[in-house]
Amino acid sequence: MNRATLLCLITAVSGSLAFSEGASPAQTPAEVSIQKALGQIAKQPDHAPYYNGLATAYARRARETSDVAFYQKAEDSLTKSIALAPDNFEALKVRVWLMLGRHEFQKALDAATPLNRRVPDDVTVYGYLADANAELGNYSAAVDAIQWMLNIRPGNVAGLTRAAYQRELHGDLSGAMELMQMAYDSTPYQEFEDRAWLLTQMSHLALVGGDLRKAERLAAGALGLFPRYHYALAALAQVRTSQGHYDEAVDLQEQRYKVAPHAENLFSLAEALKRAGRDQEAKQAFAEFERQSLKESHIGDNSNHELMAYYADYAKQPAKALALAQQELKRRQDIMTMDGYAWALAASGDYAQASAEMQKILAVGTKDPKIREHAKVISERVISR
């Protein structure tokens, strides 16, 4: 992702954030790390830890840019590391991170578990256990892993952000915001992509909590730090949608898809076009989204959640939505996948089963507005029958 010449300097003051302008570094943190690792390897090409550092930097660059090609570069670096030092612990840890990045959640859990037994006080491995379990729907196990992270190293940023996600998941939005703020305050100033990511997460929490002004300010702050950051563009687009500024939301989603041309981002653009009344453009975008999404529907890093929604809400093909949901449930049983399943059941007319599935989701405590809306519609249909 290209760098702009301006960024916002963010300071926490009594729990709030203030923004001012400054100059942006020429390179992102990940780019700096990549260059450093390559320089180290050039001087000492037989030192395995340098390849681990390069792999980590490539994986981080993948998050900055949303370019999955960096995952393959990271994997290639790990292959060299392991060839030099078979079974080296740090390389195996980074490999788990890559599995998570590729959404291979069960595989990541299976790989992280023996690493945890091998070094039971490694905070990073506990984080990977938390991530894998959360995505698989094993929320109790995820919470346990996060608690270990915070017990071993109180106040660590990785533990705080994961704890914040769990608080949000279970309906404690203010608690989640508090932990994200703590994580933000503890993040070094020069790590501007990390800080932009945290601001984006905080914008999301504010939006879910109904504070549009705060959500807008936080998303704009993230874009000030990291111009054209794909996560922040999505966050601000969601704010504009909630404000009823549909054409502005389209513009932001177009920018997002341009810098991160993935199927799920095209789906968001198609929805934005539909809301803006640009039906023909939306129809074309949905058709292209379906084509792209079907190509990846059988791999881990897919857009099946969006494809389910497309078949249920727009294409009016509930049988396809239901089949896809059942397929995805074999891989993961997190609340977003379960919501897609419940909504596909409802679209198919099976409101009783949809209601039963939705009750399992609501028992977690989520306040996700989309899930809550689905639950409301399903409940009304059950009552009216």
pLDDT digits (tens, 9 = 90+) for 4-61: 222 232 232 233 333 333 334 568 889 999 999 999 999 999 999 999 999 999 999 9
Give the pLDDT of residue 385. 72
In a domain, 201, yes or no: no
Q: What is the DSSP letter of 115?
A: H
Domain boundary among 52, 75, 102: 102
Selected residue with higher pLDDT from 15 and 239: 239
pLDDT of 260 strictly over 90: yes
The residue range of the domain holding 354 is 297-385
Please indicate, yes or no, whether residues 90 and 112 belong to a single structural domain of this protein: no
Question: Are both 113 and 151 inside the same structural domain?
Answer: yes
Band of the pLDDT at 311, cuts 50, 70, 90?
A: very high
For residue 272 the two structure tokens come to 């934005």
Mean pLDDT of the chain, nearest integer: 92
Query: What CATH number does the domain containing 341 carry?
Result: 1.25.40
Q: Taking a C-beta distance cutoff of 8 angstroms, is the pair 240, 252 a contact?
A: yes
pLDDT at 68: 87
Which CATH number fits the domain that encloses residue 135?
1.25.40.10
Asked whether residue 92 is assigned to any structural domain, the reply reads: yes
- 145 and 98, same structural domain? no
For residue 333, is pLDDT > 60?
yes
- Is the pLDDT at 337 greater than 50? The verdict is yes
Parallel, antiparallel or unpaired: strands 6-13 and 16-23: antiparallel
- At residue 8, the pLDDT reads 32
Residue position matching structure tokens 């809400």: 313
55 and 127 in a single domain? The answer is no
Judge if 309 and 383 occupy the same domain.
yes
Over residues 209-229, the mean pLDDT reads 97
**Residue for token pair 């898809």:** 257
Q: What is the mean pLDDT of residues 318-344?
A: 97
Q: Are residues 376 and 314 in the same domain?
A: yes
On whether both 320 and 340 belong to a single domain, the answer is: yes
Report if residue 325 sits inside a domain. Answer: yes
Residues 327 and 355 in one domain: yes
| pLDDT score recorded for residue 316 | 97
Whether residues 302 and 384 fall in one domain: yes
How many domains, the chain?
3
C-alpha to C-alpha distances, 271 to 201, 282, 286, 320, nearest whole angstrom? 22, 7, 8, 19
**Six token digits for residue 40:** 């180290």
Q: How far apart are CA 240 and CA 253, in angstroms?
A: 11
Which of the listed residues 186, 209, 230 is the one where a domain comes to its end?
Answer: 186
Q: What pLDDT is stored for residue 371 in this prediction?
A: 97
Q: Do the Cβ atoms of 92 and 55 come closer than 8 Å?
A: no
CA distances from 158 to 206, 221, 237 (A): 21, 21, 27
Q: Is residue 266 part of a domain?
A: no
Least confident of 61-65, 145-149, 331-335, 353-357: 61-65
Strand stretches in the chain, DSSP E: 6-13, 16-23
Question: Do 113 and 97 sit in the same domain of this protein?
Answer: no
Cα-trace Rg, the chain: 21
pTM of the model: 0.87
Confirm whether 225 is domain-assigned: no
In a domain, 34, yes or no: yes
Distance from the first to the final alpha carbon of the chain: 52
Note whether residue 367 is domain-resident. yes
- Residues 48 and 89 placed together within one structural domain of the fold: yes
Q: What is the structure's pLDDT at 12?
A: 28
Residues 89 and 143 in one domain: no
For the stretch 56-89, pLDDT in tens is 999 999 888 888 899 999 999 999 999 999 999 9
CB atoms inside a 10 Å sphere around CB 27: 12
Last residue of a domain, one of 164, 186, 208: 186
383 within a domain of the structure (yes/no):
yes
pLDDT, tens digit, 9 for 90 and up, residues 107-136: 999 999 999 999 999 999 999 999 999 999
Phi, psi of 302 (to 5 degrees): -120, 180
Q: For residues 317 and 307, what is the distance between their CA atoms, to the nearest angstrom?
A: 11
Which pair of tokens denotes residue 278? Answer: 């640009």
